[in-house]
Amino acid sequence: MYPLPFESLEKTIGYTFKDKNIISNALTHSSFANEHKMSGKHCECNERLEFLGDSVLSLIVSEYIYDKYGKRPEGELTKIRAQVVCSRSLSSFANKISLGDYLYLGKGEEASGRNKPTILENAFEALIAAIYLDSNSSKETVAKFLLPLLSDGIEEASEDQMAHDYKTSLQHFVQASGKDKIQYILVNEYGPDHQKTFEVEVRLNSNVVGKGSGKSKREAEQAAAKEALALFDVK
């Protein structure tokens, strides 16, 4: 029977609220609040918390990216952050903690609202704000909850950004030169499942023009593209 007791959510996120009203507020969708207003009862939805949570999320992610990838250009840092805090990413983080199971929804949203990406995204931001306010504006407390959820996504976004830069530059060069299409071929992988190394070749027709290795296929591909750009003397 939904919603589930938010005490279970507290166990999942590793944070116990001192003010139970604030977590209840964070889990209340506007459809539920509006139904209660119509019956003469006061009930605040999570939209104001969502507004604050968006800013707290952006600050914590920005600080983490700056500390970890601070030598990268500002444009790259911005793109990494944008990929991590986009709607699709936030709704997936909400799903990781089964946030939809705890939401107070109006009758019109009960059928499918617990799985709606927009509702989950907004509730996730509201939850961030709720932790922030309940912990006396402690970014450290929010980060303790948030970063374990986001760290893999940040790493993937970083790799995507590197791969996009070198692979796109190589693709543009190949197209401008009127040459045939390039291919990225995985030629080897070794090591235990949790610490594999991948080796990739980038080929132009049957010729190998670059090789690269990395802890993921994306990283190996970007290394291969970088080597190919050096071979063609493309800056």
Q: What is the pLDDT of residues 40-54, one digit of tens each?
A: 667 899 999 999 999
Instruction: Supply the residues annotated as catalytic.
Output: 54, 125
Query: In the sheet that 207-214 helps form, which strands lie side by side, from edge to edge?
Result: 182-190, 197-204, 207-214
Q: What is the pLDDT of residue 164?
A: 62
Percent with pLDDT over 70 in the chain: 96
C-alpha angle 197-201-202 in degrees, rounded to nearest 5: 135
Is residue 3 reached through a cis peptide bond, with omega within 30 degrees of 0 on the bond before it?
yes
Q: Is residue 70 over pLDDT 80? A: no
Domain ranges of the chain: 6-157, 179-231
Other beta carbons within 10 angstroms of residue 206's beta carbon come to 6
Greater pLDDT, 38 or 126: 126
pLDDT of residue 179: 65
Structure-token match 């499942």, residue found = 193
pLDDT at residue 162 in the model:
64
Considering the entire predicted model, what is its pTM?
A: 0.70
CA 14, distance to chain mean position in Å, is 20
Separation between Cα atoms, residue 15 and residue 228, nearest integer Å: 49
Mean pLDDT of the chain: 89
pLDDT category at 31 given cuts 50, 70, 90 is very high
> What does the block give as tokens for 214?
């990395």
User: Distance between CA 207 and CA 137 in Å, rounded?
Assistant: 58
In this structure, are residues 107 and 132 in contact, taking their beta carbons and an 8 Å threshold? no
What 8-state DSSP symbol labels residue 194?
G
* Across 193-209, average pLDDT: 89
Superfamily of chain region 6-157: Ribonuclease III domain (1.10.1520.10)
DSSP structure class, residue 28: B
Q: CATH number of 179-231: 3.30.1280.10, 3.30.160.20, 3.40.50.2020, 3.40.50.720?
A: 3.30.160.20
pLDDT at 169 over 90: no
Q: Give the integer Cα–Cα distance in Å for 14 and 6.
A: 12
Res. 63: pLDDT tops 90:
yes
pLDDT of residue 131 exceeding 90? yes
Confidence of residue 166 (pLDDT cuts 50, 70, 90): confident
Residues 6 or more apart whose CB falls under 8 angstroms from that of 221 comprise 163, 167, 184, 200, 202, 212, 214
pLDDT of residue 87: 82
Q: How confident is the model at residue 144 (pLDDT cuts 50, 70, 90)?
A: very high
